[in-house]
Amino acid sequence: DSGVTQTPKHLITATGQRVTLRCSPRSGDLSVYWYQQSLDQGLQFLIQYYNGEERAKGNILERFSAQQFPDLHSELNLSSLELGDSALYFCASSVGIAEVETQYFGPGTRLLVL
């Protein structure tokens, strides 16, 4: 158990819909990262937040957005969903941003878009 929690574990929705994935980092961690794991693209970094502020962006689509709240939990919002958005979405957390740190991964949310 990494200490990172993600909800829900599974999500089934239809094309065109919007969903919100939630992540609670390990106690004391200020940085949150979101990743997408799909069969064709592999594991891709989407976005990072540090203490409520966006820190870095990776291959995140414009239809996707994220935020980190004052209590440090984070949400990833996926809108206008397409079939290709079906994937496993991971959240990870680390202590800060001072230097490269270990990222601890949550168990993931499996999204299926029908």
Partner 1 sequence: AQSVTQPDIHITVSEGASLELRCNYSYGATPYLFWYVQSPGQGLQLLLKYFSGDTLVQGIKGFEAEFKRSQSSFNLRKPSVHWSDAAEYFCAVAPYNNNDMRFGAGTRLTVKP
Residues of this chain that interact with partner 1 (CB under 8 A) are 2, 4, 31, 33, 42-45, 48, 55-56, 58, 90, 92, 94, 97, 99-108
Nearer to partner 1, 68 or 103 (CB): 103
Q: Given the complex with partner 1, which of 75 and 79 has the nearer CB atom?
A: 75
Q: Which is nearer to partner 1, 14 or 53 (CB)?
A: 53
Q: Residue 86's CB: how many other CB atoms inside 10 A?
A: 17
A 10 A CB-CB count for 95 gives: 15
Q: Is 111 exposed, middle or buried (0-12, 13-18, 19+ CB in 10 A)?
A: buried
Taking the complex as a whole, how short is the minimal distance between the CB of residue 64 and partner 1, in angstroms? 16
Q: How far is the CB of 45 from partner 1 (least distance, A)?
A: 5
Smallest distance, Å, CB 98 to partner 1? Answer: 9
CB 92 within 8 A of CB 105: yes
